[in-house]
Structure 1
Amino acid sequence: MIRFEDIISRFDGKITEETTLGEAIQYMLHHKWNLVPVTDKGGKLTGVFTRSEMYKMILEEKELTTPIRDAIKTQAFTLQTDTPFEIVEKMVQNSPVGTGVVLNPSGGVAGLFTKTDMVLALLESSNLLKEQMETILQHSPIGVLMTDENSMVTYINDRICEMSGKSPSDLLQINLVCLFPEFAELLQRQNTKGEAEYISLSFPRCKTVAYLTTYQRMGGQKGYIALFHDISELERISLDLETVKNLKRMLETALENAYDGIIMTDKKGRVEMVSPPFLELFNLDKSRIIGRKIDEVLPSLKLTHVFETQMAEFSDFQEENGISYIVHRIPIMQDGVVIGVIGKIMFRHLHEVNNLLKKLQKAENKANFYKKQYKQSESARFSWEHIHSNDPYMEKLKRSAAKAAKGRSTILIRGESGTGKELFAHAIHNGSARCEEKFVEVNCAAIPEDLLESEFFGYEEGAFTGAKQKGKIGKFDLANGGTLFLDEVGDMSLSLQAKLLRVLQEREFYRVGGTTRIKVDVRIIAATNRNLEEMVKNGSFREDLYYRLNVISFRIPALRERPRDIEVLMEVIIEEMNRLLGTSITGISSLARNAFLEYHWPGNVRELKNVLERAMTFAEHGKIKIEDLPEYMNKIESFQTFPAGTLYEESEKKAIQKALLQSRGNKAEAARLLGISRSGLYEKIKKFDITTQSVR
């Protein structure tokens, strides 16, 4: 905004009645002013000396040393420095005087103000306003287009080019109707009504609403302004809002027709939705429960307990008006935080639910039977998804084995007992081109040596005493076209090693007691926990068979060599055992978790699974605790013999730091890993003074 005092011509001289004509002429010529203010000794204005008075004195042939006393005009047009610019503008327009004297608040002369100053100030203001307006229009999200009185486009901003996909040369100096024929009818109405109107206009890149209005041009002529608003985002938001409304209607309809009682709260525990069966069971009025805290209305449901545990839970049987019911408390999670709770009240015909559970048990028993039958069939049961690991070496091993699976070469899998060699063999078969064919397993250590040959190659009728009348086909026959898995291959006798070598080399064999040569196409996957190199040295394993089997070799590391897999496997095994044992274990206490992580696991994954099965069987509170573990792992007594601040607390502190590190600082996730409530975790963090830096 223009300030009046910023545009005046400053007066820094001193012209008095005693000033000579020559001095006044020099001052006026230097500043090119038509008049100069005359002041008294105190600097107060007494009058003005004008150019016309100067000319008169010259014409009268006054000496240049003549004082200007008699030529001073006492009547002068004056203004104050704090006069608003709008008032100054009006005064200048209505005043016949070309120059005015500007006085400061104390009455002293501040300077002069001319109509030229006014014009220059207005011009500067106009240019500034023009620049500001153009900057606003160029950065506006609204497309802007202006025309002259002939509807020829004279101005556009960048946004209209983006919307239309046209360049400035495609728009400027083109008739508006030629560019956008949709405006033809609007222009006609504008000429008659003069009111702003709008139309829908679709561009290739967006959909817009275009507003058309007029503006006054110089000479009284009328131009047009068209504003284009992109409504694509608004339409998307509208669709999202409609989707949310539909979901809300569906949810309300589901609640209205729910068989069980359902109640829903927000993150503060206030009731937001409730179903009619719920109101009927507890004899409540909907208008009196909505918006109230559930703990005030029905504290017996204990729904807000879920905010602390962050886990779904079932209540024991409760009773209302002689009707038994069960409460299923379900947390509503968002970004690891509970933002509400759903309470599902099951009370209608619980005996029917019991009957359904019995039917489900029968179905599970039948499924387990068929599952057992399926396990007994000659097929691979596991794939790469069944091998769970977070260890980089194991992930690399899986990728290498997956590549090897696609070929035909013999594979030797090595590793300690219980590391998962069988899982790798199954996964390799399922990842190969033979996955649709049979996968036949032979445990070389489990079959008596005198029967091992007949198991491998089968036998003909009457081959030996006790043989079946029609003979029997062997594992090589069964696996023809598929894969034969030789587990514990290091326990095979030397005589059978020689026969196995022949089959691997010649791809043919004779059944026991038979004379017919049988050709087979079998891929061999062998596994052992023995040191075959040492066995070759001491002569208990054939060297040529070793090299035939050791074409591609993989060593599966022991569980103690990949400790980060312990927690991964624990979660998977607990989930699997919950289904098999019918348990409801939801987690592991921090002490028990530490015991699992610190144990050396000589029996590897097999031992881990056995220990978890035992602990889940003994667990009584939904979580595995230290006392549920075997004696050789149970260290809780030794911890508790130490006073506060020693080994027990140090172990607890390390467990919390490890959980925070694993959850990347997410305290809700850390509490879940430790098997404690979030409020309990906060107390422990405060107690041990654990900071974010200490867990990095």
Structure 2
Amino acid sequence: MIPLKDMITPVRYRITADTSLRQALAIMRENKWSLLPVTNKDHRLVGVFTRSSLYRMIMEQLDLETPIRNYIKENVSTLSITTSYSEVESIVRTSAVGTGVVVDDAERVVGLFTKTDMVLSLLKATSTLKDQLDTVLTNSTIGVVMTDENKQIIYVNERACMMTGRKASELQSTGLLSVFPAAGQALESGAPFHPIKVERLKAVLTITTYENVRNKIGHIFLFQDLSEIENIATELESVKSLKLSLQTAINHAYDGIMMTDEKQYIQMVSPSLLELFQIEQKDILFKKADKVFPQFQLSKVYESEAAEVSDFKEINGIKYIVHRIPILQDGKVVGAIGKIMYRQLNEVSELFKKLQKAENKANYYHSEYQKAESARFTWDHILSKDAYMEKLKKSATKAAKGRSTVLIRGESGTGKELFAHAVHNSSARKEGKFVVVNCAAIPEDLLESEFFGYEDGAFTGARNKGKIGKFDLANGGTLFLDEIGDMSLNLQAKLLRVLQEREFYRVGGTKRIQVDVRIIAATNRNLEEMVKEGTFREDLYYRLNVISFHIPPLRDRVGDIHLLIGKMMTELNAALNTSITGMDTHARAVLETYHWPGNVRELRNVMERAMTFAEHGKIQLEDLPEYMVVKRREKHVASYWPEVKMAESAERNAIENALEKTNGNKAKAARILGISRSGLYEKIKKYQLVR
């Protein structure tokens, strides 16, 4: 309602007890006031000078310059400026006084309030309210009809006129029932809501009453057009259907898709994207895209308003690119689509060519790096959560600090060479060269010249200027002797001399060569048995076996299989250009229960084969080698077989399959199986396999 401060008449005159009759008469005449508020020097009210007081002074024929002091009425009631409208209304209704003095909280005069002021303010407010109500009713989508107590139409808005197809002038002063016959039934039913037909339209009628100035009851009829509601409902259904179709399309999209709204919150996401990044939908839905996937940089298109393609990115060895596409409406970005392509990259062939060139260059440098005699692996490359392996790594790290010979033992494929690399890289010689010699891969007649080099003309076919050997290359660094158990007795004697005296002669030479080389040896053979059999020198054995480490086979640390699978999957995705994101539970169970005679090397070979054959984004049971799947079936059929016999049977089948695939080529078969050629000969002899 209207506050009192908006209804009062301000007093701009300073009227005191010393004000003359002439001044008071002039002010009352000019403003047509019936009284004047009289204040002191602090502007506080002390009384009023009324029209009656004025008449008395005139009747007494006082001089016009006489002060009004003796004619002031004191003890006057006042109104506070904070008085509520309801209180003002009550005072006006009951008070016989026509004018009141309004004061503030400090009793200072702020104005006069009359009944006329209130009436004029109410008329102004009523007029404003009427204009606002007319505007609302004119632009309303609801038809409004008002009747008097006789059900004669006294008001109708434009919407009601549109519903009936008649002008307002035709409807006013017309009987309601003649225009809206169905309204009579609605009145009789007494229901506040009633469905009716208006011309050809269906509508919902709402009826309410009001009291007019004659204290008579009239009615207000509100007609809501149902056709509009039905149209809205139809549009909503269309939107729901469209959203369902869009969600279905996204769910079955080959590549990853993500949609965001105008505030960059994620609204939809495809299963393939969730699978690639290995996250749950509930963890990203309705969250800021740049917060969940900062690498996508989807906010860029909200600024540029143009589609763009990212550079190549990588996750778990899988390369992908991001299409950033803005959704525009009326020239404004109302959302964005992030399309993550990682399965087929035909649309970005130019980028792929650039990557290929970069990879070729990287491969070239990598190849040159490989040619250099240097250690490539550290302890971080040896993945394990097995307690014994962790203890072994710590012990080997301590041993690496010295210069003693290290002997690394373990089955083929357990990672003996990785240990050797790591020992060198954590030693004081890590800046020196790391030279590898596979004693089983070099023919015996050439092994001596490989070790010690040769002089010019030392034998037929020798280089003109001779050649330095592995000991020369490793001077100041480390020499890693892999498969040392396959070395001949003759060469063992010469190696022992180098280890003892740290000097040697080149083949065909007479000059003594001094070297400072640390020896790390590795073997998968039982050297103690070989010493007993006379195939390995006892003195060399004790010279090599200063610090010895035995790497446990993979079957003794099953907990590492899951860890290694994840790491290998990432590396092989990059190497094989595949997009494998996981492994079926049945396939994983086979890998975790298999006895792994070839250890980590065999696991990597199996993973490479499975990822090559996988067609559904995940490794399935049928992608594993047949011998593993067959053995699993046999295990279920004959679970009572001793574990050792099962391992031997699986190993025999693996060797037979490898020999069959290579048409009897033992060198190729040994590479497939991940074992040395001499080891393969022993297995053939053991299982009496003759081809």
Normalised by the length of structure 1, the TM-score is: 0.45
Q: Answer with 1 or 2: which has the greater Rg.
A: 2
Normalised by the length of structure 2, the TM-score is: 0.45
